[in-house]
Amino acid sequence: MGATLETVIFYFLAAFIIVMSVMTVTTRRIVRSATYLLFVLFGTAGIYFLLGYTFLGSVQIMVYAGGVVVLYVFSILLTSGEGDRAERLKRSRFLAGFFSMIAGAAIVLFITLKHQFLQTKDLAPLEIDIHDIGHALLSSDKYGYVLPFEAVSILLLACIIGGIMIARKR
């Protein structure tokens, strides 16, 4: 089985996401951790683009890589000093996290090996009209997204107000 360009790009993006994810949780500087998280989100958007989900990839970049990471960075900079470092983990917490990681990896491996992946015959992308996407996003019927969008916006507003209140107390 020959390696196509899509397969090579997928493995590159997968390795990139894995490396950046590990660096996100292992670095001791919190701003660097947020930067590595940004790279993970960009890599995820790259996989969406590779699969042909251009709308989902664009949303990934705009909402998560753009909005959420900027919110993280501002909240970090509002609540911590410039040279703050994460404290060193105790041995018991490290072992608990390590064994949880091993258990999670075993579950993922078990599910992956037990699942029968079926080859799809029709690989042609389905084009959806922008009018239908706009109607789905702005409608309030059964399959509309207005209520979840408003709930997330209220959550982000609460996070911003909480960050400001924490920064003001000092």
CATH class of domain segment(s) 1-83? mainly alpha
- Work out the pLDDT band at 87, boundaries 50, 70, 90: low
Q: Are 47 and 18 in contact (CB under 8 A)?
A: no
pLDDT of residue 63: 80
- Work out the pLDDT band at 49, boundaries 50, 70, 90: very high
pLDDT of residue 70: 77
Higher pLDDT, 118 or 112: 112
Q: What is the pTM of this model?
A: 0.57
Phi, psi of 85, rounded to the nearest 5 degrees? -125, 155
Residues of the chain with CATH 1.20.120.1200: 1-83
Distance, CA of 34 to CA of 62 (rounded, Å): 16
Higher pLDDT, 146 or 50: 50
Q: Are 71 and 156 in contact (CB under 8 A)?
A: yes
Q: Are 69 and 37 in contact (CB under 8 A)?
A: yes
